[in-house]
A and B are shown apart, each in its own frame.
Chain A
Amino acid sequence: MLKINNLHASIEDKSILKGINLEVKPGEVHAIMGPNGSGKSTLASVIAGREDYEVTEGTIEFEGDDIEELAAEERAHKGVFLSFQYPVEIPGVSVTNFMKTAINESRKARGLEEMPAKDMLKLIREKSEMLEIDRKFLSRSLNEGFSGGEKKRNEIFQMAMLEPKLAILDETDSGLDIDALRIVASGVNKLKSKDNAVVVITHYQRLLDYIVPDFVHVLHNGKIVKSGTKELAHELEAKGYDWIKEEVGA
């Protein structure tokens, strides 16, 4: 599904990603861990198509197509979704209208008719119940005045609405208390199937108790320096990141 080959990316001439290789197949859950500043969020942004970053070398393939030249919205239309570490507040645009516009623009891009209003409302009701989101929330301005946990829950609500093939969760656990973490994780697990894939980016192992990864990768200084199974995450939790740095001689 996702195949990243020797990906190099920089921002304002500062090189951040220095040769990433990663393959994610349908049905898999991958975790990307690593210390602060290792390039985790950059990797997420580059896959989603943030224009501030320049891909200087390498390719990103999604379902066999090179997508590194595509605009963010085109990647979204193909089924790429990024749950933001810091969801942006957009005053004046309600959650409902934002979702309606996003879904209908994606449908338009796929040559489909707009979704009938009745179906849209039903879908919104269903998905918001799954994430235990209060109906009042949906008419509020997107993310404006939301608590950290509310913002993250709202990200997963959007994911549930858009049903992406590949979901990248960037530090979705940060700012969540344990109850919110459970709701968010169970939402993600309900959306998982053999046809879609999830990449979880996290600093801590905690979220991985709920969203169990098939593979764990350690990112350090713009490269994946170690890959393994979920036991690797436990090891990192117990020993911190320093031993990895020593192992790779950084």
Chain B
Amino acid sequence: MDLKEKLVSSFLAFENSIDVDAYAHDVRTDAIKIFEEKGFPSKKEEAWKYTSLNSVLKEDYSVFPKQENALEYSDIKKYFIHDIDTYKIIFIDGKYSSHLSQTTHDGIDVCLMSAALSKPKYQLIIENYFNKAAEKDSLSALNTAFSQEGAYIHIPKNKIVEKPIQIIHFSTGNESATMLQPRNLVVVDENSHVQIIERHQSLTDNPVLTNSVTEIFANKRAIVDYYKIQNDKETASLIDNTFIKQKRESLASVHTFSFGGKLIRNNLNFYQNGERIDSTLKGITIIGNKQHVDHNTLVHHIEPNCESHQDYKGIFADRSTGVFNGKVVVEKEAQKTNAFQANNNILVSDKAAINTKPQLEIFADDVRCSHGCTIGQLDESAMFYMRSRGIPQKEARALLMFAFSNNVLESVKIPELKQRITKIIANKLGVNIGFDL
């Protein structure tokens, strides 16, 4: 039985295993039909031309892991941003871990999707927002069909959430191979501000495939900063589907830091429903071996006077491959749009490759849209210059690479997170130098 058949035939058993709310049940039932009809995407589809899922779909995944393995905080502390106070929503093999989490209902809701889906007091939010941003593509539909657990964050209006929220999904892999379908919903109401850090971390050498959906709603004048740390083991793969709907004058940013994992596909979609909206999409990818990272972005400019800023840097070593496919749509009504897109890459090895494709569909006539992509190598004369000053080759190379990607880090608003990312980059580049540039 292949993975698709296995998932479709597991659906009823899955729904029987949980409390079924009528609304969610209908949404899930529709979704499994979409998935059954469409199946997993193949390279024949334009959006998947450069990324094949074949190598990750062939595993015999356990599709809804049953038991929670206990983890001690001290053993996994390093995966947290632990030097500042944060809310934490922690999952182990798809199940909520109450002893590792720190949730709240004090003025804001930082809690569990499973609770939100089953308790009446959340019903209105669920009916207004759940599955209202996600596309009907097969992978999002698959997630929706199995949606049960994940983070539920609702910030009512006029709240500035001082503490960042960390969402971490651990997989311990007692099963031989695990597939996870985390589902996050973030609703930020008028004038409110929240910062969220998300991470997926495998603690096993068994294969893990995560197909995640995050829906984010930034209502009028809300500010949402979302950070994704993708530094997983090379036996773990991630398909991240993130959908952000913005209302007028809201600011939303997503920073994606991709250093680990076997295969990562980021489907990041911004929809601007209002005027004077600002959307920021930034990423640093530093990979090697046979790793593969694919950024597939969409910014949909629907109304006038909005901006979007995209800046993706990639450094590819060994036989690693990257994809950047950045689509910007500017509707006819969306006059005075400012849309910027940049994708800069360095190939460190002859065998590494990057496919970069800007895609602009502009129907308005009074707009500023720019895009640029570059693919280069490390500047050899800069290398010699640094080495002639006594900086060894490895450190010189690391310093150049860090400098190349640094402007993406500059817009990270949480200093401790910035430090952590810097450290991960130094580790990834195998050097022990401070990059306090």
Contact = CB atoms under 8 A, between A and B. Distances in A.
Interface of A: 48-52, 71-73, 75-77, 81-82, 84, 87-94, 97-98, 101-106, 109, 141, 158, 162
Contacts of A81: 388-389
Interface string B382-414: 101111111111011001101110110000000
B72 interface: no
Given A101-B395, A102-B391, A88 B403 contact: no
Given A90-B400, A93-B399, A102-B391, A50 B384 contact: yes
Nearest to A109: B390
Q: Is the interface of B mostly helix, strand, loop or mixed?
A: helix
Given A88-B382, A93-B399, A76 B387 contact: yes
A93 B403 contact: yes
A92 B389 contact: no
B388 A76 contact: yes
A101 B384 contact: no
Contacts of B392: 71, 73, 105, 109
A90 to B, nearest CB: 5
Given A87-B385, A88-B385, A73 B403 contact: no
A88 to B, nearest CB: 4
Nearest to B432: A108
Given A72-B384, A84-B385, A92-B404, A101 B437 contact: no
B74 interface: no
Interface of B: 379-382, 384-393, 395-396, 399-400, 402-404, 406-407, 433, 435-437
A230 to B, nearest CB: 28
Contact of A102 (B389, B436, B437): B389
Contact of A51 (B384, B399, B402, B403): B384
A62 to B, nearest CB: 14
Given A105-B392, A105-B395, A73 B382 contact: no
Contacts of A89: 382
B397 to A, nearest CB: 12
B405 to A, nearest CB: 8
A60 B164 CA distance: 59
A71 B394 CA distance: 12
Contacts of A158: 389
Nearest to A107: B390
Nearest to B406: A92
Nearest to B399: A93
Contacts of A49: 387-388
18 contacts: A48-B388, A49-B388, A51-B384, A52-B380, A72-B388, A76-B387, A82-B388, A84-B385, A89-B382, A90-B385, A92-B404, A97-B435, A97-B436, A97-B437, A98-B386, A101-B399, A103-B390, A141-B403
A89 B386 CA distance: 11
Contacts of B399: 93, 98, 101
Contact of B433 (A52, A71, A101, A103): A101
Contacts of A105: 390-392, 395
Contacts of B406: 92
Nearest to B410: A92
A-B interface, 10 closest residue pairs, ranked by CB to CB distance from nearest: A92-B403, A76-B390, A72-B387, A106-B390, A88-B385, A102-B389, A73-B387, A93-B403, A92-B406, A73-B392
Contacts of B436: 97
A81 B407 CA distance: 31
Nearest to B385: A88
A81 B395 CA distance: 19
Contacts of B437: 92-94, 97
A92 B407 CA distance: 8
A75 B393 CA distance: 13
A88 B400 CA distance: 12
Contacts of B404: 92
Nearest to A77: B390
B386 to A, nearest CB: 7
A81 B389 CA distance: 7
Contact of A162 (B390, B403, B407): B390
Contacts of A77: 390
A102 B385 CA distance: 11
